[in-house]
Structure 1
Amino acid sequence: MAKVLCVLYDDPADGYPTTYARDDLPRIERYPDGQSAPTPLGADFTPGHLLGSVSGELGLRAYLESRGHTLVVTSDKDGAGSVFDRELVDADVVISQPFWPAYLTPERIAAAKNLKLAVTAGIGSDHVDLDAAIAHGVTVAEVTYCNSISVAEHVVMMTLSLVRNYLPSHQVVLDGGWNIADCVARSYDLEGMHVGTVAAGRIGLAVLRRLAPFDVKLHYTDRHRLPADVEEELGLVFHESAAAMVPHCDVVTINAPLHPETEHLFDDKLLATMKRGAYLINTARAKIVDQEAVQQALESGQLAGYAGDVWYPQPAPADHPWRTMPHHGMTPHISGSSLSAQARYAAGTREILEAWFADKPIRDEYLIVSGGALAGTGAHSYAVNSAPDR
């Protein structure tokens, strides 16, 4: 029997919900590329309920315990003597989320003598040291595509909120004011702007498709060029690199995984080549940008706004400088953890576990590392020497 260690974020401050704003969710059976949504043999949770926090347990307890496995759920993952470190020593399976990552460093993987499977309940497995996983024969899997559209919607929301100066305008209402001139002094139309994405995979392409109706000029860069018919359909301009693309763009959105080629890609030098007054959106990983460089670009006016959903470290401390930098639209890492997305990544996590315990193949699109090498989606999206963002 296996020990499954699950690291999830804390319950709401006022307690685990007893009621919800909506009674149901739209049923999503397939994603835009035709991939089917998760298809576990069973599910012991209600779609639309909070599953990603400690009390939600990803809906896994009844399933695992009925089969004799042990489930340990904690939010305590950092610092000396954390529950995660104590329980990891004899864990067979670790489940974590990108929003509250349990960093599986080389040291932790070496200490976890029984570890065979690391599952990301969501997408983005850079909190796992993939080289160490490969060296120790640990399989790494994630629920590919489960929350890609969720993140794409968040990108569009952030783009509009920055360009239209929504957040400060809303604050005027909360403060009891009616200061129209103050609100519109930084408000523009998105229409006609040039918008580019760094990476045009599932999320990046979904962003492009959602922004096309706004009559913007669309640009992209990616290691894998999109088919010609997609470029023609959306009127896309392809660039060989981010450096070649960003000088042309009024808005740049980052939708790439974190690996050695993208770490600190947006540094002082690259930010200086962007249009003065451009907007930068980052729902990918914080270390793709240089933290201090972003702050300085906002203070100098080189960037008109920065909206991000990812931080370094995570969770961000109360005195993190990004909390107080000007003209930002930061959120905690929530873009991919809507209640809609949680239903899919909980179901996908169960599907992965069902396959693993039955000694059946895990879906190729879910695999990041398998058999001592990058595999499936991992072979397409990641490079070796990928240290976790810690």
Structure 2
Amino acid sequence: MKAVAVLYPGGPAAAETPELLGCAENALGLRDWLEGQGHELVATSDAGAGLDSHLPTVDVLIATPFWPAYISRERIENAPNLKLLLTAGVGSDHFDLAAAAERGITVAEITGSNVVSVAEHVVMQILTLVRNYMPAYREVLDGGWDIGKVAAPSHDLEDKRVGIVGFGRIGQRVATRLKGFDVQLRYFDYRRLPHTEETVLGARFQGLRALVAESDLVSINIPLTPATQGMFDRDLLYSMKKGAYLVNTARGRIVDTDALVEVMEAGHLAGYAGDVWYPQPAPADHPWRNMPNHAMTPHVSGTTLEAQRRYANGIRECLTSFIAGEPIDRDYIIVDGGRVASPSYSPAYQ
């Protein structure tokens, strides 16, 4: 078996931090194990010709979400031996799922591996925006001490209405972590939770447009599907409360790139944060890099060392099953038997 792992470059940190499992240099900690069983493992951060040169002979392709490679229909067609696509993490929309299904290729991701990490990142970015942290930090770097300038747009989070769009594993953990701030929680999802679960989480269901219009802060936690691509378009963004905040740790294409820049430059929203872009890696001239009042990070919310250990272990579990000819854990499966099997990638958000 030949496995190719397309992972981000770790650089000097790879040697200094062996726990940095998700990088090409450390190869998810799989090399000794796989090669000890007589299998070949190629780990690369080359998303171009380097990756393409291995496609004709690869059996298993492993990739972290979006960076460094998109696995397109063309690439799948150029990999005649490909049987398994694995996401080292959560979110498999960097694979062409329809092309994989047509070829009977199994697609799996490590469900739940990053949910804690992303939820904590969401809360961090919410506080960063509401408390006007970035300008305060820059004030220190610039040698200033203008308290009034920093404090003027700074708020308490308590009593604010927070709307969570997408109330799955991450959305619910965001709600749990925000309960301690005494916020008013609302959520939108394609299915409503039972009343008892809503009570435990302290959140009430609300339709999308009403939630967006009435929330002081909106957190996006839905998967990217054809139905959710561009969901936050110019119309929906302008329907948000003036002075509201938007946090997106889901997928960049859920928010219209140019419309967001317009809304931010017009001062309609008080701030935008997140760590997902389109495309990824974001080019140096990506318009979101220079928007006013943003607190963006590169796509790192689900890449804590703990999350990397979880998804590395999950990849090894999937490979163990695959090599033994046994079924992969159903919780991990996205595409199986020629069809998209995961409800996360259903058109339910239409």
Q: Contact (CA 8 Å) 1:99, 1:333: kept in 2 or not?
A: no
Q: How many residues align?
A: 348
Distance 1:381 1:201 in 2: 9
Given the alignment, which residue of 107, 112, 115 partners 2:82? 115
Shift of 1:212: 1.0
Q: Which amino acid aligns with 1:76?
A: D
Question: Residues 183-332 of structure 1: matches in 2 within 5 Å?
Answer: 183-240=150-207, 242-332=208-298
Distance 1:277 1:76 in 2: 42
Shift of 1:235: 3.1
Q: Contact (CA 8 Å) 2:162, 2:185: kept in 1 or not?
A: yes
Q: Which amino acid aligns with 1:381?
A: S
Name the structure 1 match of 2:35.
65
Shift of 1:111: 1.1
C-alpha distance after superposition, 1:218-275 (max 9, x if no partner): 01111121121121223322123x2232011010010000001100000110011110
Given the alignment, which residue of 125, 131, 140 partners 1:158? 125
Q: Which amino acid aligns with 1:5?
A: V
Shift of 1:16: 2.7
C-alpha distance after superposition, 1:37-74 (max 9, x if no partner): xxxxxxxxx7xx11111111100001110111111111
Shift of 1:87: 1.0
SS at match of 2:223: coil
Question: Residues 335-350 of structure 1: matches in 2 within 5 Å?
Answer: 335-350=301-316
Distance 2:53 2:143 in 1: 50
SS at match of 1:16: helix
Distance 2:311 2:228 in 1: 26
Q: Do structure 1's residue 170 and structure 2's residue 137 form an aligned pair?
A: yes
Name the structure 1 match of 2:6.
7
Name the structure 1 match of 2:346.
383
Name the structure 1 match of 2:334.
368
Which stretch has the larger CA shift, 102-111 or 308-317?
Answer: 102-111
Distance 2:169 2:13 in 1: 35
SS at match of 1:336: coil
Between 1 and 2, higher relative CO (CA 8 Å, sep ≥ 6) is seen in 1
Distance 2:239 2:98 in 1: 34
* TM-score, normalised via structure 2 length: 0.97
Q: Contact (CA 8 Å) 1:260, 1:383: kept in 2 or not?
A: no
* TM-score, normalised via structure 1 length: 0.87
Name the structure 2 match of 1:148.
115
SS at match of 2:53: helix
Distance 2:13 2:185 in 1: 44
Distance 2:47 2:23 in 1: 14
Shift of 1:101: 4.5
SS at match of 2:335: strand
C-alpha distance after superposition, 1:322-346 (max 9, x if no partner): 1111000110000000111111110
Shift of 1:15: 4.8
Name the structure 1 match of 2:53.
86
Q: Extract structure 1 runs of 4+ deviating beyond 3 A.
A: none
C-alpha distance after superposition, 1:262-293 (max 9, x if no partner): 00000110011110011000000000000011
Distance 1:257 1:101 in 2: 19
Name the structure 1 match of 2:65.
98
Distance 2:234 2:184 in 1: 25
Percent of residue pairs identical:
54
Shift of 1:194: 0.5
Q: Contact (CA 8 Å) 1:99, 1:334: kept in 2 or not?
A: no
The unaligned stretches of length 5 or more in structure 2 are none
Distance 2:13 2:154 in 1: 38
